Amino acid sequence: MNDPNGNVGAAIFAASRDPASRDGWLLGRIGQGDEDAMAAFYRAHGRVVLAQVLLVTGERALAEEIVQDTMLAVWRRAGDFRGDSSARSWVIAIARRQTRDRLRGRRLRVVDDAFLADRPGSGPGPEVTALDRAELAEVRVAIRDLGPAHREVLGLVFGSGLSLPEVAGVLEIPVGTVKSRLSAARAALSRILNEKGQIQ
Amino acid sequence: MNAPPTDTQSSHLDLDDLIAAANGQPIGDAAGEHLTGCEHCRLEASRWNLVADGVRSLAAATPEAAPPEAVPPEAAPPEAVPPEAVPPEAVPAAYPSHPGQLRRTGRRALARHRRRAVLVAGSAAAALVLLAGVGVGVGTWTGLVQVDLGGGASAEPVLTAVSGCPALESASGTLERMNGSSLVIKTPSGRPVTVTTTASTTASETGASAALLADITDGASVTVSGPSSDGTIAAFSVIIANPAQQHPQPPPGMVVVKGTVADASTAGFTVVTADGTRVPVTTSGDTNVSVLNASLGQFPVGVSILALGSAGPDGSLAAVGVVAIMAPPPASLPPSLPGARQIHVQTHAQGRQVYVKNCSPAAVDEALAAGG
């Protein structure tokens, strides 16, 4: 760690560590009531968690509420972190539970959605050509039209930077199911692109 | 990779490899070679890349959360935070143990943290500079964003570690044309991407090219790295105009010296250090030169471009940094230079460098957020 000025704060000290040891250290400090550590943890993960929750819920205000709840849960339960998973997957798992609780309160059919999400896609077919010809802006729009479970798995894999085993841990499903859900999500995305007629 | 299908002699990348590639993570040599030569897998990789780019661009467009003061306290269900779940001894002053106050005060505390983070991240991002060149001692010379410049069968520069970082988007391809202050690049998949720039966008050039060697002129501020023999450095890397760069201990057999160029010639130059020491430096066609603070107008059509910034709703990229790869670094660079085939992006915040030990997306994110 190069710190020629020697006066950097806790955040930079934390940043000097590799993410795993940094997060473990931060959570240890949070468990002791260290607010600066909480702030550093928030800086490290808050935006990613918000992006993931927003991707799933599609509602900004709700997503913010969930992130707030999640960070308060981190504050309260930092001592529970055992380092068996990465801190990011741990906090995202907390956020997912918070999200599930909120959505369940709205009586959304989360279970059905997850069931449908794991159904095998139709495999390579004409619709994959939609992705071959799609523009990024079109894909962005189409992703928003996916079901929550599909948005969730795509966000975890590509937005949150979690490994497939970590995603499996967060979703509490086998890695193989993560893969099938990913493939199903992509197939659904292609179908949406085709159905929207955005690809000629 | 999958086992070869029974009906063909070829095998294809499995989903793990395709996802890893889309996330900018390394895949095995065999998988990489296969990807280079297999049109089917390249197409599959391109599809997954597009999906990944779509997700990331959505994440990048996620603004910071609003200050909690704007969130009505009553919007939170009281039962969401059971007071008994909070051990009083673990609650600091900002989190009073009074059950009725806990949630609201907690929000305020988090808001304070978040506002601080927003300010810091903003200053860091605004001062983002591209440092292109040969990294020295990656364990201590801590790049934040790595760009694999290819090598082997692939000559395409591929941004490898910024993927997944919600704070940054990337675009790479060849320069097709300049449109005023915008660059239009053609990505490897053939899509045109407009990269917009502003006065604060940093531009740099890198590569082992005679044109860049010619930029080493008397009076230029340089940082030179390479092996030393009899007091003369055979430059592997020369970085121009980077006087603020800090340098750690170089790897064994290598030295790093910083100063001002004197006696520049086609064969080398002399570095005059701050204490007046004169260090002779030799250069060759293999010397990788990086020019920071380059002019976008100098970029020739057809050059490989890497740009980092934030994605606009129209699919353009508002760049905070653009780098032109004038020529790939020579393969002869010694493996003792971990950064020999990488480009590093470093953030500066409030005039102070931010260091992160590895180049993971999380590290980039952390550095941008914790910049001050």
Q: Write down how long chain B is.
A: 372
pLDDT band with cut points at 50, 70 and 90 for residue B349: very low
In B, which residues are within 8 Å of A183 by CB distance?
Answer: 15
Question: CA A86, A91, A95: angle at the middle one, nearest 5?
Answer: 145
CB A5 to CB B352 under 8 A?
yes
pLDDT of the residue at B250:
55
pLDDT of the residue at A7:
22
pLDDT of the residue at B228:
83
Domain count, chain A: 2
Assigned token pair, B67: 């200050």
Please tell me the distance from the alpha carbon of residue B58 to that of residue B35, in angstroms, as a whole number.
27
- Residues A143, A98, single domain; the answer is no
Report DSSP state, residue A159. Answer: I
- Residues A38, A95, single domain; the answer is yes
Per-residue pLDDT reduced to its tens digit, B184-224: 888 766 777 788 888 777 787 877 788 888 889 999 988 88
- Residues A85, A156, single domain; the answer is no
Please tell me the distance from the alpha carbon of residue A48 to that of residue A167, in angstroms, as a whole number.
14
- The total of other beta-carbon atoms located within 10 Å of residue B9's CB is 6
Percent of chain B with pLDDT over 70: 49
CATH of the domain at A59: 1.10.1740.10
Minimum CA–CA partner of A165 in chain B: B16
CB A44 to CB B107 under 8 A?
no
- Residues A90, A174, single domain; the answer is no
Burial class (CB in 10 A: 0-12, 13-18, 19+), B269: buried
Please tell me the distance from the alpha carbon of residue A52 to that of residue B59, in angstroms, as a whole number.
7
Minimum CA–CA partner of A51 in chain B: B59
**Is residue A2 situated within a structural domain?**
no
In A, which residues are within 8 Å of B372 by CB distance?
Answer: 11
Last residue of a domain, one of A64, A81, A102: A102
**Is residue A64 situated within a structural domain?**
yes
Per-residue pLDDT reduced to its tens digit, B66-103: 433 322 333 332 232 232 232 222 222 222 222 222 23
In B, which residues are within 8 Å of A189 by CB distance?
Answer: 51
CB A15 to CB B51 under 8 A?
no
Between the alpha carbon of residue A123 and those of residues B33, B87, B323, the distances in Å are 25, 52, 39
- Residues A159, A88, single domain; the answer is no
Q: Nearest CA to CA, how far is A130 from chain B (Å)? A: 9
**Is residue A200 situated within a structural domain?**
no
In A, which residues are within 8 Å of B55 by CB distance?
Answer: 55, 143, 154-155, 157-159
- Residues A42, A77, single domain; the answer is yes
The predicted model gives B112-132 an average pLDDT of 23
Minimum CA–CA partner of B91 in chain A: A33
pLDDT band with cut points at 50, 70 and 90 for residue B350: very low
Collapsing DSSP to helix, strand or coil, A129 comes out as helix
Last residue of a domain, one of A81, A102, A123: A102
**Is residue A131 situated within a structural domain?**
yes
**Is residue A3 situated within a structural domain?**
no
Q: Which position has the token pair 């490994």? A: A163
pTM of the model: 0.45
- Residues A133, A70, single domain; the answer is no
Minimum CA–CA partner of A139 in chain B: B54
- Residues A123, A146, single domain; the answer is yes
**Is residue A39 situated within a structural domain?**
yes
Report DSSP state, residue B292. Answer: S
**Is residue A14 situated within a structural domain?**
yes
- Residues A47, A133, single domain; the answer is no
- Residues A181, A133, single domain; the answer is yes
- Helix or strand holding residue B194 (H, E): strand B192-196
The minimal CB distance from B367 to the residues A15, A139, A158 is found for A15
> Which among B27, B64, B113 is the top mutation candidate for probing chain A, defined by the most A β-carbons within 10 Å of its own β-carbon?
B113
Minimum CA–CA partner of B56 in chain A: A159
pLDDT of the residue at B130:
27
Tell me the residue type at A168.
A
Per-residue pLDDT reduced to its tens digit, B293-340: 788 888 888 888 877 766 665 667 777 778 787 776 555 554 334 333
CA-based nearest residue to B249, from B358, B138, B167, B357: B138
The predicted model gives B172-178 an average pLDDT of 85
- Helix or strand holding residue B287 (H, E): none
pLDDT band with cut points at 50, 70 and 90 for residue B124: very low
pLDDT of the residue at B62:
67
CB B59 to CB A134 under 8 A?
no
Minimum CA–CA partner of A66 in chain B: B76
- Torsion, CA B48, CA A23, CA B340, CA B182, rounded to 10: 60
CATH of the domain at A183: 1.10.10.10
How do B202-207 and B221-226 pair as beta strands?
unpaired
CB B47 to CB A54 under 8 A?
no
Reported ipTM: 0.78
- The total of other beta-carbon atoms located within 10 Å of residue B218's CB is 12
Please tell me the distance from the alpha carbon of residue B82 to that of residue B240, in angstroms, as a whole number.
59
Spell out the per-residue pLDDT of chain A, length 200, in tens: 232 322 222 223 333 345 666 788 888 888 888 877 787 788 788 888 988 998 888 888 888 888 888 988 898 888 888 888 889 999 999 999 988 888 775 543 333 344 445 554 444 455 556 777 777 888 888 898 888 888 999 999 998 878 899 999 998 889 998 998 898 889 888 888 887 764 44
- Residues A119, A165, single domain; the answer is yes
The minimal CB distance from A179 to the residues B15, B85, B92 is found for B15
In B, which residues are within 8 Å of A51 by CB distance?
Answer: 58-59, 62, 166
CB A186 to CB B95 under 8 A?
no
pLDDT of the residue at B328:
60
Looking from the CA of B180 toward its CB, the CA atoms found within 13 Å total 5
Range of the domain at A124: 113-195
The minimal CB distance from B62 to the residues A14, A54, A179 is found for A54
**Is residue A145 situated within a structural domain?**
yes
The predicted model gives B115-127 an average pLDDT of 20
What average pLDDT does the structure give for chain B? 60
Please tell me the distance from the alpha carbon of residue A21 to that of residue B338, in angstroms, as a whole number.
23
Assigned token pair, B7: 């009906």
Please tell me the distance from the alpha carbon of residue A62 to that of residue A120, in angstroms, as a whole number.
31
> Which among A5, A41, A43 is the top mutation candidate for probing chain B, defined by the most B β-carbons within 10 Å of its own β-carbon?
A43
Q: Decide if A101 contacts A107 (C-beta within 8 A).
A: no
Last residue of a domain, one of A102, A121, A143: A102
pLDDT band with cut points at 50, 70 and 90 for residue B126: very low
Q: Which is more confident, B60 or B350?
A: B60
- Residues A12, A98, single domain; the answer is yes
Q: Decide if B369 contacts B117 (C-beta within 8 A).
A: yes
Q: Decide if B236 contacts B225 (C-beta within 8 A).
A: yes
Q: Decide if B348 contacts B244 (C-beta within 8 A).
A: yes
